[in-house]
Amino acid sequence: MLKVGLELFIDAGPGAVRLGEETGLPVFLDLKLHDIPETVERAVARASALGARMVTVHAGGGRSMLRRAVERARRDGAGLEVVAVTVLTSLDAGDLHDVGVDGDVAPQVERLARMAWAEGVRAFVCSPYEAARLREVLGSDATLVTPGVRAAGDQGKDDQKRAMTAGEAVKAGARWIVVGRPIRDAADPLAAAQAFTREANAVGQGPA
């Protein structure tokens, strides 16, 4: 699957999603939508029309926003899946406290995931550290997408505060892993991508 994130989308526009058609791969449109329900519903409709396979929304946008996003994706019938972002991997408990959420990250991730599940969301973004907990809480039907994946020894070298290796993420319950900068900024991006893929697939629990 190809990730089209915010930076690329702003630079290249909706045409970036056409990379999926050109390569024959599904597109993960990682825009992390967070707005009033009407605006997010319309944005989901546009993502569906573009042919994206997944689109991210912030679970913190609330029940109505999540419900309308899911309903619109299903109504359009193009196979788009709404993926709820729980707590960004750049945040820790101190960051949550700064925005008025007391307690550790894991309970907040579970709280947001349970709310989103109740509104029909079946795919979630969480760090590898929360994947096992969400897999236990939500069961095998949940699709868990984990960013914050780094090569061994590289965790903590950037703004990803809750990172693991590809193999660790898959073992924790991730169905998809998201690898951005370690591939984009590598001296040999193809070799880096192949290395992450080999590590994830060696665990034997699905795609990476």
Three state DSSP letters for 9-72: HHHHHHHHHHHHHHHCCCEEEEEEECCCHHHHHHHHHHHHHHCCCEEEEEHHHCHHHHHHHHHH
Quick one: pLDDT band at residue 207, thresholds 50, 70, 90? Answer: very low
Domain boundaries, the chain: 2-203
Mean pLDDT of the region 120-124: 98
Query: Do residues 99 and 88 lie in contact, with contact meaning Cβ atoms separated by under 8 Å?
Result: no
* CA 204 to mean position of chain CA atoms: 21
Residue 155 has pLDDT above 70, yes or no: no
Query: Do residues 29 and 54 lie in contact, with contact meaning Cβ atoms separated by under 8 Å?
Result: yes
Helices and strands (H and E) in the chain: how many = 10, 7
Mean pLDDT of the region 148-163: 65
Burial of 28-51, coded b for 16+ CB within 10 Å and e otherwise, reads: bbbbbbbeebeebbebbbebbebb
Residue 101 has pLDDT above 90, yes or no: yes
CATH pick for 2-203 out of 3.30.70.141, 3.30.360.10, 3.20.20.70, 2.60.40.10? 3.20.20.70
DSSP reduced 3-state for 107? helix
Looking at per-residue pLDDT, the higher value among 171 and 137 belongs to 137
Mean pLDDT of the region 112-118: 98
Active site residue 32: yes
Lowest mean pLDDT among 16-20, 61-65, 84-88, 145-149: 145-149
DSSP reduced 3-state for 102? coil
* Rounded CA separation 132/174 (Å): 8
* Rounded CA separation 61/43 (Å): 14
Percentage helix, strand, coil for the chain under 3-state DSSP, each rounded to 5:
50, 15, 35
* CA 148 to mean position of chain CA atoms: 10
pLDDT tens for each residue of 22-48 = 999 999 999 999 999 999 999 999 999
Residue 160 has pLDDT above 80, yes or no: no
Quick one: pLDDT band at residue 205, thresholds 50, 70, 90? Answer: very low
Percent of the chain surpassing pLDDT 70: 92
pLDDT tens for each residue of 76-89 = 999 999 999 999 98
The per-residue pLDDT for 166 is: 85
In whole numbers, what is the pLDDT of the chain averaged over residues? 91
The per-residue pLDDT for 208 is: 39
Catalytic residue among 32, 157, 161, 171: 32
The per-residue pLDDT for 158 is: 56
Query: Do residues 120 and 160 lie in contact, with contact meaning Cβ atoms separated by under 8 Å?
Result: no
Cβ neighbours of 116 (radius 10 Å): 31
